[in-house]
Structure 1
């Protein structure tokens, strides 16, 4: 005796009832949904599904011979995904094939917009889907948290190496880059820059005006240096520029003079114009004679050259000795 159709639909929403003549008598509601509206009842089952494992079958006797065995099949209409199946005799010479998605259930739900009503209430696929969704949500939450943590770490690191007023590198960043350059053993120049007459700006116009001047000077330095150069503010009105691979005195003199000329331009602050200049001391990371200096010694050499420039009348630049190697660029 065959179960009533509504009973079969509830117990096996993906069943196909095949008569003894091979014709499809009925399909469950979920299976019809997968067929995407294609007519099924009355057609030959071999036109509706392709059973290819454990072997290919095309007749009802062949299908009955596989009763109780797990089948793999593919629908010939609508969805082309591979399904699992179990064929059992209906007691009247026909066969009922119950199908399931197997591990493809997640893809099937997504592709065909299936809901819990498309599965038997006892089908554990729904519970599995809830677990998959929960796992996906947990992974996404974890990824979001990791991205936020990484972003916070990068932001904190950036703040730790950035001068908050000017946006330039700070002393910590300069020390890090300088140590790396010395370890790599390459040629570079270090420019120690001190602003002339900056104290008068602060005393006359206030610290807010002084901050505006420092920001304007920082922009000039960034405009006149290369992307790979390091520009740092290391103290109130003191700056350092590291120029990798540039040790030619002619080019360095031209850059120093250009920096001084640009910094000397009046800087408008509200209704007044602030004026400063700059003195520059230049030292080399790879001197032509003598041992390569360490970071502290190199800074001292640049500082000594800087104050020699100031003693010569300010708004000038001076080189540390000895003579550097030729420009390698």
Structure 2
């Protein structure tokens, strides 16, 4: 039906048939009064009786131009309209006005346009509220399905990313102590050296080796040794700051990367706290496990260009100086430091 097509028999047009064909339509008499509205439009305006009210009292025509009279409406026949309900819910609508023959007035067929999804949700519309030939609901279903699929894909992606992070973390974690492992140490040390090489703040590299740990394993078994390693890990976590790094390098060896600020006196205080904490006995099956530790460290600003192998070697040298000096002590590397013969004093070192 369009502006040039007339109904030869007015009886063919009735409100029920019109409402079934176009559930969001308005039938307007030549006087401008509303004869009938489609069931979906009535649902939108629940509690309001639209019949017999004037069309322009119910609807505001906003585009392509405003309309103040039915003569203005007649001039808009066949053109796309933007309308809005003047009263709540003040829904915005799209429409097309078609003139009817034989003095039957006009039919304005309406739609929600791009606001269909919002309207369906807001007004609780279902498939029955749209014309059988209207694909709006089907498109909305497809949109919802697509949204659900996209959300599921996003959730799957989040799960995969979480699994990847967990796998990466597991690959960089010592299973027994929960500390970082040797691979993580290599990565963190390389990053610290890179920062220092680009003018960043200096850092300290500390090597710690347990004293008398083999005796615990030999006399009380590996379960006792595992218990002791867990104790050491807790002590080290409690001693370092949140931006420092602790790794179990293997066996009973641990390596720490201490971020700035670092200097010799600070390293001595941290080492003393580590030794004191680790020397606290751990009970295993009613028997005390007593160990201690020796510590060696070096600071990156001792080197023109910090190098991982060189720093690890120098920290090892300082560690073995501590061992030779009687264990349970710390040594900070200084240029020229060497491991003394048994009983001989260390040279060019700072000891505690």
Q: TM-score range, shorter-chain basis?
A: over 0.9
- Paired position in structure 2 for 1:127: 138
Task: Please state how far the C-alpha of 1:291 moved relative to its aligned partner.
Answer: 3.4
1:205 equivalent in alignment to 2:220: yes
- The answer to whether the 8 A contact 1:189-1:246 is kept is no
Cα displacement (A) at 1:320? 1.3
1:292 corresponds to 2:305: yes
Question: Aligned match of 1:47 in 39, 54, 57?
Answer: 57
The answer to whether the aligner puts 1:20 opposite 2:20 as a matched pair is no
Q: How many residues align?
A: 321
Q: 1:36 aligns with which of 27, 33, 46?
A: 46
- Of 79, 82, 93, which residue of structure 2 is paired with 1:72? 82
Query: Of the candidates 143, 147, 156, which is equivalent to residue 154 of structure 2?
Result: 143
Aligned equivalents of 1:29 and 1:78: distance in 2? 17
Is residue 159 from structure 1 mapped to residue 170 from structure 2 by the alignment? yes
Moved over 6 A (4+): none
SS at match of 2:313: helix
Query: How do 1:169-208 and structure 2 match up within 5 A?
Result: 169-185=180-196, 186-208=201-223
- 1:8-40 deviation line (CA, Å, top 9, x unaligned): 111000011111222212111110111132221
Q: Secondary structure at the match of 1:16?
A: strand
Deviations 1:194-235 (A, max 9, x none): 011111111122212211111111111111110110011010
CA contact (8 A) 1:187 1:286 kept: yes
Paired residues of 2:15 and 2:37 also in contact (CA < 8 A): no
Structure 1 unmatched runs, 5+? 324-329
User: Which residue pairs with 1:232 in the alignment?
Assistant: 247
Mean alpha-carbon deviation: is it higher for 292-301 or for 112-121? Answer: 292-301
Which of 103, 111, 115 does residue 104 from structure 1 map onto? Answer: 115
**Residue matched to 1:326:** none
> Could you report, residue by residue, the CA deviation over 1:116-159 in whole angstroms, capped at 9, with x for unpaired residues?
00000000212211221221122112111111111111111111
Is 1:268 the counterpart of 2:283 in the alignment?
yes
Instruction: Please name the residue that 2:325 is paired with.
Output: 312
Contact 2:322 2:331 in 1 (8 A): yes
Q: More deviation in 85-94 or 109-118?
A: 85-94
Instruction: Tell me how far 1:45 sits from its aligned partner.
Output: 1.2
Q: Could you tell me which residue of structure 1 aligns to residue 316 of structure 2?
A: 303
Q: TM-score, normalised by structure 2?
A: 0.87
Shift of the alpha carbon at 1:93?
A: 4.8
C-alpha distance in structure 2 between counterparts of 1:293 and 1:86, whole Å? 78
Q: Separation in 2 of the partners of 1:47 and 1:178?
A: 77
1:17 and 1:94 in contact (8 A); partners too: yes
Q: Cα RMSD (Å) of the superposition?
A: 1.5
- Stretch deviating more after TM superposition (258-267 or 314-323): 314-323
Q: Distance in 2 between matches of 1:270 and 1:81?
A: 77
Task: Please give the secondary structure, in 2, of the residue aligned with 1:278.
Answer: strand
Gaps of 5+ in 2: 1-9, 337-352
Q: Whole-Å Cα distance in 1 between the matches of residues 62 and 307 of structure 2?
A: 76
Measure the CA separation in 1 of the matches of 2:19 and 2:117.
21
Partner SS for 2:296: strand
Whole-Å Cα distance in 1 between the matches of residues 42 and 224 of structure 2?
Answer: 78
Separation of aligned partners in 1, 2:36 and 2:43: 13
